[in-house]
Structure formats: structure tokens, C-alpha cells
């Protein structure tokens, strides 16, 4: 039986830790419970929001619907001569999975250490770090079709992965609740440690354990702990700009950090924000982190409006200074549905 709470405070369930309420909060421990929640006549006309660890979202107001906490648990492993196959329930914690796999000698996830969130949200964002993306280890994704309440399996190719993108943010947006993920880890593993600071942190032969520890050290040195200062990790995506704009910016700002990408050049959003002098910019309890410009933190008592004002100021300043439009990676959740920074900022 699902656990139900009415008029629940959502602060403990999202990493910004900002007070807001949900009309109904219900925990689901199985697919059967998920189906019963979506079949409940009392909630038929209420909007529903699946929620894992709440590590990548900002509630911009109270939610006038049903927040469904995903608590599906379980991991199993099989193998053949070439691969290990991990079958993971979507409510499992992603950082815990990565640490467990490294300790088990299952190589391939180490570069994705300490990315906050549950397993079910990893495919949605196609999470990535240090030269590895979720799509590189994905075998399949299973989801509950919220229209038919049938379970559907997609292959990696069918997920239409892109940079921080997938079919779950496009064609299946709002109609799919991920319940299980299949991972495929090659036994003929090749270390990826040439990205960023990793190569300077690893001495001797690069093992998955060494890469895992180096990634942990790097992330912990840069990113604030949400249990100490509420935050949702990287607030903005790294924008991809044209070759011409890159050349113009590089000529004017030689220290610009960017990497060639298929569509042009991917620019480090943190560099843009930092070099625009925005570290430490604060409104109310929300502040651009002093050490990592890509993160907005709750210094204590921040409201959603504080965060929105800081984010909008960052976006506008970067646009004016570099002619680059920053797109937020954090999901904005309004009263009844997902929204965006532009729309909520217009209402302030």
C-alpha cells in the first residue's frame, strides 16, 4: 500500500531544500503501486509529478497536484564473455550504483561518479562527465506509458540521446515514467582519463578505482554539498556556439574555455559566468557559489523567487557580455506543470 501525505512540505525531497507544498505526496515501491496511483479516481484530474531524489529541480511555487516519489529498488548482474549486464530499478541512487560497481570490479561507470540523482533520471538528461555519457553504457530503458499504463522497453538507439537530451524530454515528455534501466559494461575496458583535471590526478597505470577516486576528488573540490548548502548542481548547460562566434570571443578573451563539438564549439558555462564577475552575486538567500560559478546555492532561507532572480541576472549578464544565451539544466516545476526560467521570470 502506498504511503500518502496531504499538503506535504517538499523541502526534504529536493536538494535545493526550499519550502514548498504538494497537495498530495505518495510513495511508490513497485510498478503495481505506480499503476494504482495513476488509476486513482480521486486524483484523476490532478497533475502528477514523478520525483526521484529531487537533485535537478526547482519548485517555483507550491505544486497543486500529486508528487509521486519513486522508491523502486533492486540491482541484478549477469554476464557473458564480452559484457556485464546490470538491470537496475529506477529508484536506486546513481552515485551509490557507481561506487558499488567500481568496488565489484565492473568497469565503465567510474567517470560518472557523484552525479546526483536516481538511476531513473540518468537517461532523461543523458548525464555525462569527463568524456563519458549515459548513452555510452546504456543497453535499454523501460518505462511505464502513462497513457496506456503498459510497460515499454526502448533500446539505446530508440532513446534518441543527445547532449543532456533524450526522447524522454521530447517525444515522450510527460507520458513516460522510467521504471528500469539496463546497463552494458564492456569487459574489454579502456580507461578514459584525458579529460580535464583527471590526467593530473592519476599516476601510474589508470585503473577504474583511480579514475573513480580522481572524479570524486575533483567534484568534491568544486561542487558544494547539498546537505550543507542546498543546490541542484550545475544550473546551466554548457552552450554550443557557432565557429564564427567562438573565434570572435576567443580573440577578445584568450582564456575562454571551449571544446570543438559537431555543431560548433561547446563553451564552459562556468567560465562565462565566472569571467562576467558573477561569483558571489546574491539575492535574498540565493547566491552564485563563490568557488563554482555554475552552481546557485541556498545560503539559508532562500525562496524560489530568490533563485529565479539570481539565475535571470546571470543569464542576462552573460547574454549582454558574450552574446551567448545560457539554457538552464535545472528543471523548473510550476503550480501544475514544468515551466522555464523565461516564463517564471516574466511573472516576477
Instruction: Give alpha helix (H) positions in 243-286.
Output: 243-252, 269-275
| Catalytic (active site) residue 205 | no
Query: Are the CB atoms for 118 and 74 separated by under 8 Å?
Result: no
Query: Are the CB atoms for 55 and 226 separated by under 8 Å?
Result: yes
Q: Point out the catalytic residue in the list 164, 287, 312, 331.
A: 164
Q: Point out the catalytic residue in the list 89, 101, 234, 331.
A: 234
| Catalytic (active site) residue 90 | no
Q: Point out the catalytic residue in the list 213, 217, 329, 338.
A: 329
| Catalytic (active site) residue 217 | no
Read off the C-alpha cell for 149: 499504463
Query: Are the CB atoms for 108 and 186 separated by under 8 Å?
Result: yes
Taking the CA atoms of residue 36, residue 41, residue 43 and residue 48 in that order, the dihedral angle to the nearest 10 degrees is 50
CB-count burial class (<10 Å; 0-12, 13-18, 19+) for 147: exposed
Three-state SS at 21: strand
Query: Are the CB atoms for 16 and 232 separated by under 8 Å?
Result: yes
Dihedral sign (CA 56, 59, 65, 69) = positive
Read off the C-alpha cell for 339: 515551466
Catalytic residues: 164, 234, 329
Amino acid at each position: 500500500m502506498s504511503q500518502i501525505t496531504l499538503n506535504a512540505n517538499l523541502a526534504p525531497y529536493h536538494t535545493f531544500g526550499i519550502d514548498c507544498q504538494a497537495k498530495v505526496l505518495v510513495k511508490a515501491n513497485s510498478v503495481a503501486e505506480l499503476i494504482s496511483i495513476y488509476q486513482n479516481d480521486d486524483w484523476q484530474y490532478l497533475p502528477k509529478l514523478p520525483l526521484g531524489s529531487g537533485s535537478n529541480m526547482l519548485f517555483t511555487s507550491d505544486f497543486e497536484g500529486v508528487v509521486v516519489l519513486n522508491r523502486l529498488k533492486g540491482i541484478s548482474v549477469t554476464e557473458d564473455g564480452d559484457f556485464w549486464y546490470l538491470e537496475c530499478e529506477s529508484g536506486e541512487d546513481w552515485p551509490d550504483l557507481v561506487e558499488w560497481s567500481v568496488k565489484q570490479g565492473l568497469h565503465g561507470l567510474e567517470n560518472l561518479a557523484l552525479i546526483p540523482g536516481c538511476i531513473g533520471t540518468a537517461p532523461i538528461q543523458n548525464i555525462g562527465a569527463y568524456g563519458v555519457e549515459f548513452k555510452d553504457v546504456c543497453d535499454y530503458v523501460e518505462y511505464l506509458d502513462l497513457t496506456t499504463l503498459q510497460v515499454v522497453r526502448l533500446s539505446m538507439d530508440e532513446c534518441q540521446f543527445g547532449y543532456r537530451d533524450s526522447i524522454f524530454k521530447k517525444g515522450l515528455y510527460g507520458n513516460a515514467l522510467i521504471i528500469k534501466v539496463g546497463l552494458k559494461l564492456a569487459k574489454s575496458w579502456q580507461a578514459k582519463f584525458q579529460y580535464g583535471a583527471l590526467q593530473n590526478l592519476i599516476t601510474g597505470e589508470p585503473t577504474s578505482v583511480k579514475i573513480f577516486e580522481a572524479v570524486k576528488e575533483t567534484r568534491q573540490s568544486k561542487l558544494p554539498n547539498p546537505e550543507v548548502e542546498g543546490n541542484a548542481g550545475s544550473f546551466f548547460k554548457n552552450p554550443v556556439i557557432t565557429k564564427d562566434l567562438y573565434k570572435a570571443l576567443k580573440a577578445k578573451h584568450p582564456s575562454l574555455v571551449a571544446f570543438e563539438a559537431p555543431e560548433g564549439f561547446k563553451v564552459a558555462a562556468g567560465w562565462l559566468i565566472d569571467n562576467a564577475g558573477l561569483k558571489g552575486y546574491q539575492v535574498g538567500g540565493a547566491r552564485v557559489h563563490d568557488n563554482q560559478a555554475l552552481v546557485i546555492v541556498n545560503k539559508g532561507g532562500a525562496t524560489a523567487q530568490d533563485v529565479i532572480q539570481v539565475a535571470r541576472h546571470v543569464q542576462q549578464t552573460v547574454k549582454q557580455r558574450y552574446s551567448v544565451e545560457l539554457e538552464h539544466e535545472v528543471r523548473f516545476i510550476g503550480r501544475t506543470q514544468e515551466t522555464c526560467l523565461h516564463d517564471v521570470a516574466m511573472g516576477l
